[in-house]
Amino acid sequence: MTEPLASDSHFEDDTAVRLVDGVWKADLKPGWNVGDNPNGGYLLAIAVRAMLEESSRPDPLSVTAHYLSPPSAGEVEIRAGVFKPGKTIVNVMAEIWQDGRERVRVLGAMGDLSRRRGPSRVSARPPDIPPPDECVSLLDLTHQAGRAVPEIMNRFDLRLPEDSPWGRPGEGDPFEITGWIRFRDGTDPSSLSAVAFADAFPPTLLGAIEAAGWVPTIELTVHVRSRPAAGWLLGTFRTRVLVDGLMEEDGELWDSDGRPVALSRQLATVLTR
């Protein structure tokens, strides 16, 4: 049942886009599903790949996806085009279509992180957790709990501290999940895959609110700020404001050199079971 890989990277293969008669096409692979639908970060990465092609720029600086209707595994069409050319920043839009319905719309500002010049000053600090070897695998935890393992959990290796407060925050604490993440097949992270990593952790409030069955994303914005070094990424995602079933999820991704790779924020709806 397992398809042979064209490269040695599932991410590389499964986000591939091809130009057919002026329109980008891609095949959504079920390996990135959560339940019956492809993960939002995976969809965003496919759109961004077509957008980078259109812009002739190597890095997504800021991308915003509006999720309209979940697609299924299978072929999609990506209608992508530059709407504002520029020397340093190229603005691109992409629409993912399947079965005659638009599924995701993305606005992006593309650029080249290696050519940016200007002041730097980082006051944020990466979260302080034990190294990956001393953390526990979310996949193992899920197996042990006898819970269904979403397909996507086989793509990512996600490790949480043993004393992780995820799923059981104290009163007044934010809903929060912090851990190490990398592709399970050893593919190193990139500015492109950063947009997928920004949506690869389970929802911050899973388990913490009885009613939280499914937390569909309305909108996700990712700012990629550095090309990541090889190795693990350290991610932390936090929800501080849940009002009438609407919540933000604020994310940070740090690379193995301790540099900030991406900031993300999504607006999501908490659906009750």
The residues of the shown chain that bind its own copies, judged by CB under 8 A, are 61-62, 64, 66, 68-69, 83-84, 89, 91, 93, 102, 105, 107, 109, 113, 116-124, 169, 172-175, 209, 211-212, 218-219, 221, 223, 225-226, 240-246, 248, 259-260, 263, 265, 267, 269-272
DSSP 151: G
Q: Residue 57 CB, nearest distance to its own copies (Å)? A: 13
Instruction: Specify whether the CB–CB gap between 223 and 62 falls below 8 A.
Output: yes
Q: Residue 125 CB, nearest distance to its own copies (Å)? A: 9
Q: Residue 219 CB, nearest distance to its own copies (Å)? A: 4
Nearest to 169 by CA among 209, 139, 199, 129: 209
Q: Which is nearer to its own copies, 16 or 267 (CB)?
A: 267
Q: Which is nearer to its own copies, 12 or 59 (CB)?
A: 59
Q: Residue 106 CB, nearest distance to its own copies (Å)? A: 9
Nearest to 225 by CA among 56, 60, 47, 49: 60
Q: Which is nearer to its own copies, 109 or 194 (CB)?
A: 109
Nearest to 226 by CA among 124, 146, 158, 149: 124
Name residues whose C-beta falls within 8 Å of residue 246's C-beta, 6 or more positions apart in sequence: 267, 268, 269, 270
Name the token pair of 3.
């398809």
The distance of Cα 16 from the centroid of its chain, to the nearest Å, equals: 16
Q: Residue 196 CB, nearest distance to its own copies (Å)? A: 19
Q: Which is nearer to its own copies, 30 or 167 (CB)?
A: 167
Q: Which is nearer to its own copies, 25 or 259 (CB)?
A: 259
Sign of the dihedral defined by the CA atoms of residues 106, 252, 151, 219, in that order? negative
Q: Which is nearer to its own copies, 2 or 120 (CB)?
A: 120
**What are φ and ψ of residue 52, in 5° steps?**
-65, -40
Q: Residue 212 CB, nearest distance to its own copies (Å)? A: 8
- Name the 3-class secondary structure at 119: coil
